[in-house]
Amino acid sequence: AQTVTQSQPEMSVQEAETVTLSCTYDTSESDYYLFWYKQPPSRQMILVIRQEAYKQQNATENRFSVNFQKAAKSFSLKISDSQLGDAAMYFCAYVRYQLIWGAGTKLIIKP
Amino acid sequence: DSGVTQTPKHLITATGQRVTLRCSPRSGDLSVYWYQQSLDQGLQFLIHYYNGEERAKGNILERFSAQQFPDLHSELNLSSLELGDSALYFCASSAAGTGFGNTIYFGEGSWLTVV
């Protein structure tokens, strides 16, 4: 069965610095999709970034980028120039036939 | 604004009661998903409907039921409510089924408090 693991329950970073959130997954499939969602204190779920497994190029959205290592089954999220508004829970998700969620990483931004 | 509309936003009810949560998916989306999120917990998948048919069922209690109507809106019915049912209930939608890798868009959630 597919699983998604976020090994860091909580991380903190100084404002304006860079932080990387880790996500690993287990699957025997070759075609699938990966997502990072952000959940700020308002509790709304917001899509951050989407990666298609058949694309080798890492997805990027402004200050957010991923390091997708297909062979290692790793999908980390890098946030550059961290801002106070980035403070949130971040969830990694895998989808092929089912959507599988990680447990989340709480990101704290220190001013 | 994700385009997914959930009502009500907040609901307080007593144990033993029954409530209905409503979801309107984004225009054109055929899939609707329901999730439960308790305080400081992750997302618990409840159920997935695609174009009116149940596609997948997660850890949904027998006291809970859902349906998707011909106009594609969905309702989640929670009955014989217990204190532990207090949670944020999310509805999400996507264009097709999850196997197509479509992005899933979430509503703002319905906060249910059982007292």
What is the per-residue pLDDT for B37?
A: 94
- Residue B100 φ/ψ, nearest 5 degrees: -90, 0
Amino acid identity for residue A106 in this structure:
K
Residue B99 pLDDT exceeds 70: no
What is the per-residue pLDDT for B100?
A: 67
Length of chain A: 111
Residue-wise pLDDT for B17-30, tens only, equals 999 999 999 999 99
What is the per-residue pLDDT for B103?
A: 86
A14 is written with which tokens? 């100084």
What is the per-residue pLDDT for A47?
A: 93
Helix (H) / strand (E) element for B58: namely: none
What is the per-residue pLDDT for B98?
A: 64
B98 versus B37: the higher-pLDDT residue is B37
Residue showing tokens 């929670």: B78
What is the per-residue pLDDT for B2?
A: 86
Amino acid identity for residue B66 in this structure:
A
Between the CA atoms of A2, A99, B8 and B12, what dihedral angle is there, to the nearest 10 degrees? 0
Residue-wise pLDDT for A32-54, tens only, equals 999 999 999 999 999 999 999 98
What is the per-residue pLDDT for B29?
A: 93
Residue-wise pLDDT for B39-65, tens only, equals 878 899 999 999 999 999 998 999 999
CB pairs under 8 A between A and B: 42
Average of per-residue pLDDT values in chain A: 94
What is the per-residue pLDDT for A99?
A: 84
What is the per-residue pLDDT for B79?
A: 97
What does the buried/exposed string (b/e) look like for B3-25 if buried means 16 or more CB atoms within 10 Å of the residue's CB? ebbbeeeebebeeeeebebebbb
CA-based nearest residue in chain A for residue B55: A98
Residue showing tokens 């979801």: B23
Low-confidence ranges of chain A (pLDDT < 50): none
User: Do A36 and A64 touch, CB atoms closer than 8 A?
Assistant: yes
What is the per-residue pLDDT for B49?
A: 94
Which of the residues B9, B23, B37, B43 would you substitute to probe the A interface, choosing the one with the greatest number of A C-beta atoms within 10 Å? B43
B67 versus A1: the higher-pLDDT residue is B67
Residue A55: Cβ-neighbour burial (10 angstroms; 0-12, 13-18, 19+): exposed
What is the per-residue pLDDT for A56?
A: 83
Parallel/antiparallel/unpaired status of strands A46-52 and A99-101: unpaired
Whether residues B106 and A96 touch (CB distance < 8 A) is answered with: no
Residue B96 pLDDT exceeds 80: no
Return the DSSP state at A24.
E
CA-based nearest residue in chain A for residue B88: A43
Which of the residues A29, A95, A106 would you substitute to probe the B interface, choosing the one with the greatest number of B C-beta atoms within 10 Å? A95
Between the CA atoms of B38, A7, B91 and A43, what dihedral angle is there, to the nearest 10 degrees? 60
- What is B59-85 written as a DSSP string? S--TTEEEEE-TTS-EEEEE-S--GGG
Shortest alpha-carbon distance between residue B29 and chain A (Å)? 16
Per DSSP (E only), the strands in A9-104 are 10-14, 19-21, 24-26, 33-39, 46-52, 60-61, 64-69, 74-79, 88-95, 99-101
